[in-house]
Each structure stands twice: as C-alpha cells, then as structure tokens.
Amino acid sequence: MTVENTIVRFALYVEMKIFHIFFLVVPGFLIAQVNDQAILSRLKPAGVLPEKILSTRSAVFYSPNLTKKEIDEIHASLSRTGIDAVAYFEIDRVFAGRDVTLAFSEYFTGREINNFVIAEKSGATYKVAVTAFTGREDLIEQGQSAWVVEDAYLKETLRVLYSTAINSFRKQNLLIGDIAETGLTINVITGRRTEAFATDLKVDRLAVQKFGDEQLDRELEEIMKDYPFKYTLVENTIPETELRKQGMFYILCLIHSRGPVAKQLLGFEVGEAETALVSVTYPNGQEQLKTIPASTPVYKFYARQIQFNNVFLGTRWDADLTWQQALKNFIMGFKRELRIN
C-alpha cells in the first residue's frame, strides 16, 4: 500500500470518527477530557501542509505521554526537514481553559508563530498533524484543514512528513536550534494574583457564562443557586467588555488539566517529584481532603476581575474530578471564608 493511499484511508477514518466525538468548547469554560484526540477532532484531515512550513516558525503541541527521547527524535526530524519548531508544549497545558488559550495565542502572535505541529501518541500508534496558526484566540478553529499522518512507528511518521515537505516546498529555515525548547513559561495571569476570595463580590455582580448545552446549563443554574451573592447567567458569546457595561465586574473562570499543570498555570509552586496533589472538597457539604493522582485531569474555578484581570484563586486548592464538584467547592469555600451558613 502506498503512503498516499494510507493517508487517504486515514483521513476517511477520522472524518467518520468525528461524528462520534463530543467536544464542547465555549469562551469561558472547557468541558471535555483534555487530550490530544479531542484537539485533533477539531481538525479536518486530508489537507495540505501550510505553504510557509519551511520558511516560518512553528510551535509543537505534544501528548504528555511522549518521552523526552521521543520529543528529541521529533525535534531532530523537524530540524532536518526544515521546520523551525521554536517551542514545545503539552497539549493539555495549551488548551486548559479560555484564559490559558488566550495567553498562548498572544504568545504565539508575539513570537511570529505561523504553524502548529501536533504530535500524538495513543497506545502503539503515533500521529502527526500540521496546520496553520491564523491568529485566532482559540488557536484552532472547528473544521480547520490539517495535514495528518499516522503510523505504528514514530520514525515512519516523521519520514512521511519529511518527504512530503521536501517534495512540496523549498527549505528556507536554515538556523534551527538543536534542542527542543520545552518547559517554557507562559504568563496566564496578567493582573494581580491573590490566593483569596474576592470580597468585593459581596456587592459586585459575578458573570457566570452558560455552556450552551441545555443539560449542562440546567446543572449550572441549580448549583449556582447556592451562591450567596449577586450573579447573572450570561450567554458565552457576549464579550467581556459588554458584560462590564451591563454592571458585571467579575467573571467566573475555569481551568481543566492535569493537577500539576493546572497549578503551574495559576502560579502555584509544584514539586517535580509530586505524584499526587491534595485538594479540599465538600461532598454533602462536609469538608474533606482528597488525594488526586498527578496524572489525573481536574477542574478548578476562580474569579477574575474583568477590567483589570486581577485573579482570585481562593484560600485553598479546591480542584476536583468533575466541574460540578469543583464549582460546589468554590462556592462552599467562599461561604466558609465569610462565615456564611
């Protein structure tokens, strides 16, 4: 079977699979399993490589389960191909929530990134997708065209990318770094960061964006009934500037990623050797401490001041395994801090 036939068959397979994938992304919230398959489901395969892939900068999003050796192999192959990959990030770090993705979008724009290379490892299969960065705040548009290839061997996947790129474009990127730049820090919080609740919320109205899904919105509305102060459920398409004009000074935000990644993005210190994180939770209204493995995705709510982007994270780490319990933790922790029954 030729490489071209393999790619076409894979493209048709993915297109059929897309109809069976549920992935909801809205401006304020991210409700889904944060993984590479979910991100790849936004892309429309069978596209061509971006025209400037060998003459402009690229960023690489990769599966967290890829080893350092595999990442080094990817970078070496991209460099040989002429793809100038200047930054590497785990996928669930980039797409952890609206505030996070917006910060990455600004970072990529500032560094003049033109392309994204997405490297996935799922079981015994490797997949590489290449698509253009168009400057969007959500980075990748639903249905965006992408060049995609997969194989049981990473070396073969990279070989196909190499041959396709070299046969399609003239290599113009000549000064490419030898080392994959991982572990780069992106500042998600642009205002003041406070490990406390926003006491101004006793008088200021909180904007709570709907999910845009009937069932989820019903759950959200029911949980928010326990919130002790003023709030308004708003459509997720309303710009924050308009919310401010309507008298809402704060917005409820959510981050969703592996525990250590979520903490790092929000400015908490995390030890490299930590295998689990302790979170405070309130099942049935009773305070408990929950130990969550570091590899497990969690949800964490916080409040952000719309005008100045000041962030209020609460007094204790209260992330949880579901967004429903995480929201209950946020509300209960706030009430306990203010001694409200």
User: For residue 27, is pLDDT > 50?
Assistant: no
Give burial (CB, 10 Å; 0-12/13-18/19+) of 194: middle
- Residue 293 CA to residue 77 CA, distance in Å, equals 34
Angle value at C-alpha 110, between 166 and 25, nearest 5 degrees: 85
Percent of the chain scoring above 70 in pLDDT: 89
Beta bridge partners of 145: 44
Give CA–CA dist 169/218, Å, rounded: 51
Q: Which residues contact 159 (CB under 8 A, 6 or more apart)?
A: 77
- Mean pLDDT of the region 27-37: 49
Arithmetic mean of pLDDT over the chain: 89
Beta strands in the chain (DSSP E): 24-25, 30-31, 43-44, 57-62, 84-90, 113-122, 125-132, 144-145, 147-151, 193-194, 205-209, 231-234, 248-258, 276-281, 288-293, 297-305, 311-312
Is pLDDT at 2 greater than 70 in this prediction?
no
Residues with Cβ within 8 Å of 200's Cβ and at least 6 positions away in sequence, in order, are 249, 250
At 318, list the tokens. Answer: 């209260």
Three-state secondary-structure class, residue 234: strand
Query: Higher confidence at residue 57 or residue 2?
Result: 57
Q: Which of 164, 104, 79 is nearest to 129 (CA)?
A: 164
pLDDT tens per residue, range 210-252: 999 999 999 999 999 999 999 999 998 999 999 999 999 999 9
Residue 35 — pLDDT band, cuts 50, 70, 90? Answer: low
Element counts in the chain: helices (H) and strands (E): 10, 17
Q: What is the spatial distance between Cα 316 and Cα 269, in angstroms, rounded to a whole number?
A: 13
Distance CA 112, CA 104 (A): 12
User: Residue 256: CB partners within 8 Å, gap ≥ 6?
Assistant: 30, 31, 32, 34, 96, 97, 262, 297, 298, 299, 300, 323
Contact indicator for 320, 288 with CB cutoff of 8 Å: no
pLDDT tens digits, residue range 111-148?
999 999 999 999 889 999 999 998 999 899 888 999 99
At residue 136, the 3 state secondary structure works out as coil
Is residue 25 scored above 50 in pLDDT?
Answer: no
**pLDDT band at residue 36 using 50, 70 and 90 as cut-offs:** low
Nearest alpha carbon to residue 98 among 331, 241, 256:
256
pTM of the model: 0.87
- Residue 155 vs residue 25, higher pLDDT: 155
Choose the weakest-confidence range: 13-22, 117-126, 181-190, 197-206. Answer: 13-22
Tell me: pLDDT of 209 over 80.
yes
**pLDDT value at 11 more than 90:** no
Q: CA dist 328 to 167, 203, 209, 219, 223, Å?
A: 55, 21, 16, 11, 7
Q: What is the pLDDT of residue 142?
A: 87
pLDDT class of 42 with cuts at 50, 70, 90: confident
User: What are the Cα distances from residue 338, in Å, to 201, 232, 248, 335?
Assistant: 11, 21, 21, 5
| DSSP letter (8 states) at residue 159 | H
- Mean pLDDT in residue range 143-165: 96
Measured over the CA atoms of residue 224, residue 229, residue 233 and residue 238, the dihedral's sign is negative
The pLDDT of residue 88 is 98
Predicted pLDDT of residue 3: 42
Under 8 Å between Cβ of 190 and 213: no
Mean of pLDDT values over 36-65: 89
- Per-residue pLDDT tens over the stretch 256-314: 999 999 999 999 999 888 899 999 999 888 899 999 999 999 999 999 999 999 999 99
Q: Coil, helix or strand for 45?
A: coil
Identify whether the C-beta of residue 312 lies closer than 8 Å to the C-beta of residue 192: no
Q: What's the pLDDT at 37?
A: 65
